[in-house]
Amino acid sequence: MNTTSKTDVLIVGAGPAGLAAAWWLARCGIDARVVDKKGSKVYKGQADGLMSRTIEILDSMGCGLSQRVNHESYLTYYMDIWTNDDGKLEKNQTVGASEGTVGASPFHASTISQGRIERYIIDAIRDPSSLNPTLPIERGIVAETLQIDQSIAADPNAYPVSVKLRHLPYDEANPTTGATSEAGTSGLGSSNLMGETWESYANRRKEQTGQIETVQAKYVLGCDGAHSWVRSQIGVKMEGSSKESVWGAMDVVPITDFPGIRRGCFIKSSAGGMLIIPRERGLSRVYVPYHEVDTDNHDVDAERFDRSEVTLDKIKAIAQRMFHPYKFDFKICEWWSAYQVGQRVAERSQDVTGRVLLAGDAVHTHSPKVGLGANTSIQDGWNMG
């Protein structure tokens, strides 16, 4: 069955950028809707850090969000820089401010899972003080076509953007990759090694499974990740380095004699850099360099790293080599994944009519070493207001 509907703003992608933008729309009472391809919310893994400025934004949203961050997260006051040369691992620098130090922001950088961050923003959207607290956030819906009627795009009251949506059946919206096993929860199902990074945290309308819906919108906001479908529909290209790094990531409860495991650490070695981020509930997020890809060689097959090569055991082995001579092991792995990341920015952030806009990873991508992904995405969505 085919149906047609109208909305002032259609947001494609219910990740940090899409939800931050949706907060403004709900707050101002604007008729809007968020759709996302994935059929389940983010429970584990994904982004894991909030910078001071981002927490200031959450604080501005009200609803006690900054207090919830401080209560649930791990506050990171320091970052230790270690070097591993000739088998000797030594700390040679500490950056950051001491606990209690008055800085430029009243908030310290914190680490907490993306699922909790998105939960905070959704709770703020649903707050009764919003003029549109029931703004729909729906999952299991994929956007398939996007067309812009340029003859009416200049009319502020027109609905020039037409998007065809398909309500997915359960199996298609919930791929088996990512299932929990003895090796922990694999995040490869939502990794961009799969060729897509559609985040999800929303309500699924099961009674509409298989339905085709055409949405007429005044504006469309593409918040659908580094391999953005919306960006491809408006012909916007990414510019930047042709080098891409594949990073392994895992959330574990470490068993180690490494003295800095509960402080933020960056270990530099000839094999690359490893990042250790202390997390809530005794977890540590560990990023290790896995592989490098040259996307400027015009070999399409070589440009996408074979995800079947990635295993938790290989990620663990790389970490153990970089921790040497200290011991590193774990019995609990809550989540693990791998990402192919290049430092790039879109040539522009909207189409020629200004009716389709991009935000978050859809318009800029970063190395996980600098922790900018979710933070800049939230700030992009916030700036839409």
Q: Which of 279, 285, 344, 355 is catalytic?
A: 279
Count of C-beta atoms within a 10 Å radius of residue 254: 22
- Annotate 140-159 with b (16+ C-beta within 10 A) or e (fewer): bbbbeebebeeeebeeeeeb
* Rounded distance between C-alpha atoms, residue 127 and residue 26, angstroms: 9
43 flagged as catalytic: no
Catalytic (active site) residue 48 = yes
Q: Mark whether 368 is an active-site residue.
A: yes
Q: 48, 80, 361, 380: which one is catalytic?
A: 48
Which is catalytic among the residues 201, 219, 287, 339?
A: 287
Examine the residue annotation and report whether 290 is marked as an active-site residue of this protein: no
The residue annotated as part of the active site, out of 16, 160, 278, 368, is 368
Cα–Cα nearest to 233, from 350, 322, 313, 106? 350
The residues that are catalytic are 48, 279, 287, 368
